[in-house]
Structure 1
Amino acid sequence: MVQRFLRSSGRAALWSGAVALIGALGLSGANAQYNIGRGPNASIGHRMPNITTGPGLRYMPGLIVPLDMGEPPPPPPRRTGPPPGDPPPSARRATPPAAADSRFVAKELVIEVDGTPTEAEIAALARRFRLTRLEQQAFPLTNSTLFRWRIADGRSVRSVASAITASGAARATPNFRYRLQQAASGAGDATRYPLVKLRLTEAHAVARGTEIVVAVIDSAIDARHPEIDGAVTASFDALGSKEGPHKHGTGIAGAIVSHARLVGSAPAARLLAIRAFAGAGGGAEGTSFGILKSLDFAVARGARVINMSFAGAEDAMLARALAAASARGIVLVAAAGNAGPASPLLYPAAYPQVIAVSATDAADRLFTASNRGKHIAVAAPGVDLLLPSPDGKYQVTSGTSFAAAYVSGLAALMLERNPALTPAELRERLMATARDLGPKGPDDQFGAGLADAAGALAAAVEATPVSSMSSAPSPQ
């Protein structure tokens, strides 16, 4: 019937008008749904919009189009403004800005200038790039001056950092965030298995870390705890905060120097208590600028070992500073990280000058949250550990943070035994004497294996390298 109607050329125009009317009344739309996950690792996902498409017509029950309509009505006037009912453009919701990158502090930069710039040069730099100076620090480790700046307008951190570096006026990076690597412990009884696993009793018959200075860049340490009392020779607060002792920093110090009810890996070592992290819980945060200030203090105060039980993003400025510290003969030890097997590399552990440490439990199994990678040097106990906590208390805790602290103590023992060891030689001997775990040979979980204090001390005094093992495997 429709075909017969269309063949009637006199009524084709009428049908076109009807089609236009139907199209105007039959609006199709889109329907989108979003699912928001809940829980400790909440995620936001979405399903693609379910869009109804068609040739412009939709079946509408009850709509009758008479075939004999006479002349079609004139077309509606062409609309030039927004559709009826739409708000004016100025009232429409703007596209939300991209989420801020949580890896660094919003609107902040760390800028490094060679030497000591004059006030006039600093002011010119601020005007040129429209920055507000927050803090500055002389940095003899790299013969430069460090600045912390704020971006006052809406420019992105990365775009401003790139512009400054490209100009050649200075080196600029975001002020990256780092987190302490402490995890919740299981409900099982804590034991003192590190003493046995690391063969500390045998090692302490030879060396106890006497007078070796170990810098702990961490949260605040309770220096009056019976396990730590008398071990802290100097303190530095890179944050200038009034926050009291923290369980993470106190636990790290205890893993190294405990000497009351517990036994640390280097009970006679001397600590530099450096506070660069603040916040509640084991995940207290620090920044690139605070860590760089802490490194400067550690080097100036004669640290032979620097413990870094934190992890975060790669930072070219921090990498340069750590390379300079290693070149001065300072042994660098860091937690591999607690982000699990699927995590990308975390730093500073993945820098080639750093001894990266993963964590094991009392049965020599890898800590499930431990990061993996070919940069892992050795493993050490880091699960369900009994360690000191502020106010004379004790805690049961886990994490690669504490495994790294035990290895920092082992490094102090080795340096007492042979003060002439270079960082590369110490690393090589530590790895060569480790007890192999997991797949045969070095692997991405345990590195060379479980650290052995007694074996490492024996190797420390040998005149020639004990192995051809690479002293700084490339992280992959």
Structure 2
Amino acid sequence: MWRAGVAAVVAGVLALSGAAPAQADTVRDLQYWLNDYGFTQAWTMSRGDDVTVAIIDTGVNGDVAELEGVVIGGTDVSGIGSPDGQTPVGEEEEHGTMVASLLAGRGTGEGNGVIGVAPDADLLTASVAFGLDTGAEKTNDDQIAEAVVWAVDNGADVINMSLTRNTPDWPESWDDAFQYAFENDVVVVAAAGNRGSGTTQVGAPATIPGVLAVAGVDREQNASFDASSQGITIAVAAPSEDLVGVLPDGSHVVWSGTSAAAPLVSGLVALVRSAYPELDAANVINRIIRTADPKGEEVPGPLYGYGIIDPVAALTAEVEAVEQNPLGSLEEWIRVHRRADLPDAEGSEGTDDQEIVPIADPPPPRADSAKTLLPTPWTLSYITVPLSLVAGFGTLAALLGIGATRHIRRSTRSDA
């Protein structure tokens, strides 16, 4: 299951600097992908204006500082949340707000707080209760199908899905829902999953033809071993390690996984749709995959798909138009693979309800008790306190040294 955690080294740095609560400018400084991937340069051309992105997840708390005024509509498809979809539900309730902040966060001031890669995009939220024993009124499969249809009907241009069914197949109810999205010119973005948390194969919805499936790379832009799964349905890759997001209580967390990579790609889709409003979904997708950096690999490949996203190139390059989605046709897949004229057999592929979970993050490298950008019991025990003791002994030694020097000088003068 999904977990949020802060890399111990981050908490350690804050502890060493003497920070108590994390300062917003420190949070902004952690967003390496904004400059390293050219998003800040891309903002001179597009910031996602007039584009609406639906977050189908555990719910998005639009009251946190970075998301004030960002969420323009919502629903709850679980039956246990609030009607506006802004009350986080399920055991992994923090997930949706973190995803939303990476995509369209507004920051908390000039140069402060988490800013999303599409900071002028609007968000919709559909809260889903993941798991089989949540008390939800509908199955996981039915919740997802309903959420997709609701997102389309409420004006979504993009749908972000940082979740997995953990199987490559999907129920027939998803056929209709996703086909409805494609027929209404919506780009659907889905996370591939994370090997480090046990997702060894890419699962639906990232396996559905036409979906923009996202893998993850590390800080050196190499395929992430723990924070990404690999497979033949991957479309592009994006940063998936050491990403900072906002929790529903307004605090901040550093996390890793394709759950975080997906909203970066959804945000890029928003930038392209805003800059090129005349392009249909197929050509938006084509522009993103054709301008991605293949890293010398044959494309599409199981590690990077067509390559690592390049926001500036996606907005500026000349890309030949296409007539259909380059990632495949769900309608054609249904025609070939579904057997609507045959009665459903119990346990047949794609018919059983399957537990759906937010994409599980790989465990933090050291202390998974670390949760926010604050000193934790781990850092207090192993970093702050020992360093304080060392500093204390160092100060004492320095004072003794100064005292001894002065004593020697006085003794020398007396002897003279």
TM-score after normalising by structure 1: 0.56
Pairing 1:347–2:194 present: no
Any residues of structure 2 matched to 1:310-389 within 5 Å, and which?
Answer: 310-312=163-165, 313=167, 314-315=169-170, 316-339=172-195, 343-369=200-226, 370-389=228-247
Equivalent residue in structure 2 for 1:402, among 260, 268, 292: 260
Equivalent in the alignment of 1:263: 115
How many residue pairs align between the two structures? 290
Cα shift at 1:367: 2.1
Residue identity opposite 1:377 in structure 2: A
Rounded to whole Å, the distance in 1 between the matches of 2:324 and 2:294 is 14
Equivalent residue in structure 2 for 1:239, among 78, 96, 100: 78
Q: What's the secondary structure of 1:368's corresponding residue?
A: coil
What stretches of structure 1 move > 4 A for 4+ residues in a row?
Answer: 181-185, 467-470
Equivalent residue in structure 2 for 1:215, among 41, 47, 54: 54
Cα shift at 1:438: 6.4
Q: Is the 8 A contact 2:164 2:204 kept in 1?
A: yes
Change (3 A) 1:286 1:360: farther
- When the two chains are superposed, the root-mean-square deviation of aligned CA atoms in Å is 2.9
Any residues of structure 2 matched to 1:39-438 within 5 Å, and which?
Answer: 184=5, 186-189=7-10, 191-242=30-81, 244-245=87-88, 246-260=93-107, 261-278=113-130, 287-312=140-165, 313=167, 314-315=169-170, 316-339=172-195, 343-369=200-226, 370-437=228-295
Residue identity opposite 1:301 in structure 2: N
> Structure 1, residues 94-153: CA drift from partner, whole Å, max 9, x if none?
xxxxxxxxxxxxxxxxxxxxxxxxxxxxxxxxxxxxxxxxxxxxxxxxxxxxxxxxxxxx
Residue identity opposite 2:106 in structure 1: H
Q: What's the secondary structure of 2:50's corresponding residue?
A: coil
User: Once structures 1 and 2 are overlaid, which stretch shifts more, 251-260 or 191-200?
Assistant: 191-200
Q: Percent identical across equivalent pairs?
A: 34
Over alpha carbons, which structure has the higher Rg?
A: 1
Equivalent in the alignment of 2:327: 472
Q: Is the 8 A contact 1:334 1:357 kept in 2?
A: yes
Rounded to whole Å, the distance in 1 between the matches of 2:61 and 2:193 is 24
Change (3 A) 1:373 1:185: farther
Rounded to whole Å, the distance in 2 between the matches of 1:435 and 1:225 is 35
Change (3 A) 1:468 1:242: closer
Residue identity opposite 2:265 in structure 1: V
Structure with a larger share of its residues in helix: 2
Rounded to whole Å, the distance in 2 between the matches of 1:342 and 1:300 is 32
Q: What's the secondary structure of 1:376's corresponding residue?
A: coil
Greater RCO (Cα-Cα under 8 Å, separation 6 or more)? 2
Change (3 A) 1:233 1:347: same
Q: What's the secondary structure of 1:321's corresponding residue?
A: helix
The runs of 5 or more residues in structure 2 that have no matched partner are: 11-26, 108-112, 331-416
Q: What's the secondary structure of 2:246's corresponding residue?
A: strand
Rounded to whole Å, the distance in 1 between the matches of 2:7 and 2:139 is 27
Change (3 A) 1:230 1:464: same
Cα shift at 1:452: 1.1
Q: What's the secondary structure of 2:235's corresponding residue?
A: strand
TM-score after normalising by structure 2: 0.64
Change (3 A) 1:222 1:365: same
